Structure formats: C-alpha cells, structure tokens
Amino acid sequence: MWIYEKKLQYPVNITKRDLPMAKNILTQYGGPQGELAAAIRYLNQRYTMPDDYGKALLTDIGTEELAHVEVIAAMVYQLTKGATKEEIIAAGLGPYYSNHGLDLFPENSSGEPFTTAYISAVGDPIANIEENMAAEQKARAVYENLINLATSDEVIQPLLFLRQREIIHYHRFAELLQRYQEMGLK
C-alpha cells in the first residue's frame, strides 16, 4: 500500500524549549481539527468511495495525515524536551504532566482528550468529501493561528509546511467532488 521512510515528512529541528507553544500545538495533535482526526476520518471513509480513484485518494491523504501526526509529535516533544517542573507548571501543563509525564498524548490545547466524535463519516461520498474540504479549511485556519502565536522560525517553518499541505488536500478533495458530481452522484 505504501512505503514508510523512517524520517519526518518535514524536518523538525527546534533547539529552544517553549512550553506555552507546545501546549498550543497540541491542538493539532489531538484536537478536533487535528491531524489524528483527519487521518482516521479519511482512512475510514475510503471504503465507501464509489471508485478506486476515490479510495486511493483518501488512502493517500489519510496516510499523509499520519505523517503529519509525526511532525506535530516531534514539534511538541522538542518544545518540551528537558523541561523542569517549574516550566511545566508555569506553562499550564501541570494537569497534562500529572497524567502523562512528558509522553505525548492526543488532546487539544485546553486539555480535552482526543475523541472519536471528531471523526465524521456518514456513508455518503458527497457529504463526506464536503466535510473533508471543510475539515481541511479549519485545519488551515488553526495552522494560521498557530503561526501567528509562534515567535521562532524553527517552529514557524514546519507549521507553514503543514498549512500548505492542508490547502493542497482541500484542492484534491475539490477535484474529487467535481469528478463525482460529473459522474452524477449527488
């Protein structure tokens, strides 16, 4: 189905701890517009696509979203690596730390854990594709918010890459929607 290269899709080399930014970025790890929700959504929806083209597209984008989970995880890890108890508490990550230490756990920046309620799948290819387009736009908007909050180019560059991938995914889904509409699906 695919080949896994043991390297990140986009290199992450963050050299300065920034726990408040790590807390913000967590939302793209386990939040409602995050990469994990997108990956699971697309990999589930692919089975009900009406043709192999749609199945392949959702498989491609879904597995790429898993690569984005890795990029986000690397960012959070590098932003928190070596953090002291005082830094953890000051960043508002005390509750996170008490439950998970510095292990990565999918939740949003408010501390709400990942839930399958974030995954939309209704068994209708057109509805699913339109939901996917909206999801990509929402993820793009969240990345823009994160970029606005970031102060380090080491953080901004991977966020810019991920934002651009959301735009590309949106356009790929728009092409698929058009294909299905031309086939007469409604």
pLDDT tens by residue, 123-172: 999 999 999 999 999 999 999 999 999 999 999 999 999 999 999 999 99
Q: How many CB atoms lie within 10 A of CB 122?
A: 11
Q: What is the pLDDT of residue 4?
A: 76
Q: Which residues are registered as beta bridge partners of 113?
A: 107
pTM of this structure: 0.95
Which domains does the chain show, CATH number per domain? 19-182 (1.20.1260.10)
Q: Which residues are registered as beta bridge partners of 107?
A: 113
Decide if pLDDT at 3 tops 80.
no
Mean pLDDT on 15-41? 97
Decide if pLDDT at 42 tops 90.
yes
